[in-house]
Structure 1
Amino acid sequence: MDMHTVSVYGCAAAVVVPGIQVLAALAAEGQERTPPPLALLRAWRRPVPRVASVLVAAMVLLGVVQTVVPATVEALEREPHGPWWRAVTALAVQSSGWFQLLLNLAALVVVAPVAERQFGAWRTGLVFAASGVAAQSVSMAGWSPRGGGDSVAICGLVGALAAWYAVRGGTTALRWAALAVPAAGLVLCLLTNNHGVGLLVGCALGLGIALTAPARPPLATARPV
C-alpha cells in the first residue's frame, strides 16, 4: 500500500470518526432518553424531512434506472472536456456500480435528515448541490475527468455539520474533534481527491450558516423550513 493510499484512508478516518460523533450528538439533542446511535435512526420521525426524502427517493430511483439501463451512467457521468452540465448530472449516477450505490445511499440516509433538521430544507439542498457541483467541476477540470457519484455532496453535508458544530456545538472536546473534518478536506485536496473539495465547500457553507442563521430549537421539536 503506497503513501497516497494510506493518506486517503487516513483522511477518511478523520472524517468518519468525528463525523459520526457530530451526527450522533446533533441527533440526540432534546432526546436525553435515547442513546446517540439510536437517535440517528429517529431523524426520520415526523415531520419527515422533505429534502432528505426527495434526495433518498431520487437516488433509489436513479439507481434502479442505471441498473436497468447501464448506458445511463455513460450518458450522465463526468467526461473529459464534457459540457458544463455534466458536473450536475454526475451527481445522479454511481459510476462504480452497486457497491458505490449502496454505500452512498446508506450515508445519505444517515446524514441528510440530520442536516435538514439542523439547517432547514433549503439550506440542506444548497449545501448538497453546491458541494457536489463544485467537486464534480474540479474533477472535470483535470483531477478525475471521468466518473460520477453523490458521495462528494454527502461529504459537503458532513463538512457543514462539522463546521457548524465547531462554532455552536455544546461539547468542547467534540468541537475540537470536528476540526479534523476540514483538515482532512485540505489534505484530500492536496492529493487531488474530489471529496476534499466537497468537504471544504460544505465546511465553508456550514460556517456561514453558524455565523448568520438564528439558533434553531432542539431536533426533537425543530421543524424543517
Structure 2
Amino acid sequence: MTIHGLRRFPLVTAVVFGVTALSNVAQFLVPGMLAHLERAPAGLHGDWWRTGTSLFVQDGGVAGTVSNLLFLVLVGAVAEQAVSRSRWLVCYFAAGLVGEIAGYAWQPHGGGNSIAICGLAGAAAVALWRGDERLPRFAPTIVLLWCAALLATAWFPLLAIGLVAAMAARVAAERGIAVGRWTAAGALVTGVALTAVRNIHGVALLAGLVVAVALVLSVRRRNPVTA
C-alpha cells in the first residue's frame, strides 16, 4: 500500500520535523533563544553547542521557517524511500555539519535546517541517478524545486529557472520520460554554482551528494551482488 506515491511512511522525517518545529515555535515565544542557539563566532570560542543547535532554529522569520519545514517534509519523505533511516540521519546531519563549518567562514551569524535538507536532496539526487524504483514519480520535481529555492538565496531571479526545470520534470514524469539523471546533474550544477559564490547551501548540497555516493559504494563493497 502506498501513501501519495510513497512506499513507506517517512517516520524519521516526521520525528525530525516534529523536533525542529517545536524548537522553532519555542524560539518565537522565548526572547533571546535564537541569539543563544544560532551559529555565531562564539561557536568557535567556547559556545560549542551552536554548531548543532543552529540546525534547530531559524533566522528567516515566519516565512523562512514555514518554507524550511515544508521542504523538510517533502525532500525528507522522498529521500526516506530510497535510503535507510539511519543513512537518512547521516546525510541530514553530515551535510548540516559541513554547512555550519562553511558558515563560520562565509556567514558567521545564522541558523536554519536548510543546509541539512541539502543532505537529503543529495541522497535523493543520487538515487535518481541510479534509477531507484523506490522513489515516487514526483521525486525529480521535489529535488528541482529545492534547487530553485536554493538558487533564489543567491539571486532571487534564478528562482524562475529552477521553477521552469521543476515543471518540465513534472510534465516529463507524467509522460513517462526518465529525467532522473538530468535532475541529479541539476543538483550538482546547483551545488557547484552556489559554492562558487560562497553560499553555504552549495557546500552542503555537494556534501550531501558526496555522502550519498559514499554510502552507496560502502553497500557495494559489503554486498557486491545485490547492491
State TM-score, norm by structure 2: 0.70
User: Which secondary structure state, in structure 1, belongs to the residue aligned with residue 25 of structure 2?
Assistant: helix
Work out which of the residue numbers 90, 98, 101 in structure 1 matches 2:65. 101
Cα deviation, residue 123, structure 1: 0.3
Cα drift, residue 182 of structure 1: 1.3
Q: What are the equivalent positions in structure 2 for 1:23-172 lying under 5 Å apart? A: 41-43=4-6, 48-82=9-43, 83-140=47-104, 142-169=105-132, 172=178
**Cα–Cα, structure 1 residues 57 and 190, in superposed 2: closer, same or farther, change >3 Å?**
same
Counterpart check, 1:195 vs 2:159: no
- 1:206-217 map, 5 Å: 206-213=212-219
CA RMSD of aligned residues (A): 2.2
Q: In the alignment, residue 102 of structure 1 is paired with which amino acid?
A: V
| Residue pair 1:188, 1:194 contacting (<8 A) in 2 also | yes
After superposition, the C-alpha distances for 1:184-222 in whole angstroms (9 at most, x for unaligned) are 1011111110101110111011212333437xxxxxxxx
Q: Tell me whether 203-212 or 51-60 shows the greater mean CA deviation.
A: 203-212
Structure 1 stretches lacking a partner, 5+ long: 1-29, 32-38, 215-225
Of the two structures, which has the highest relative contact order with CA contacts closer than 8 Å and spacing of 6 or more? Answer: 1
Query: Post-superposition, which runs of at least 4 consecutive aligned residues in structure 1 deviate over 6 A?
Result: none
Determine the C-alpha separation between the residues in 2 that align with 1:109 and 1:186.
25
Deviations 1:30-88 (A, max 9, x none): 96xxxxxxx6x453x8x533211111101211111011113110000011242333111
1: CA distance, partners of 2:28 / 2:19:
14
C-alpha distance in 2 between matches for 1:130 and 1:190: 20
**Distance in 1 between the 2:196 and 2:63 partners?**
26
Letter in 2 for 1:111: V
CA change 1:49–1:148 in 2 (3 A) is same
Bigger mean CA offset, 81-90 vs 157-166: 81-90
Amino acid paired to 1:147: G
SS at match of 1:179: helix
Letter in 1 for 2:206: L
Is contact 2:131–2:180 with CA below 8 Å preserved after alignment?
no
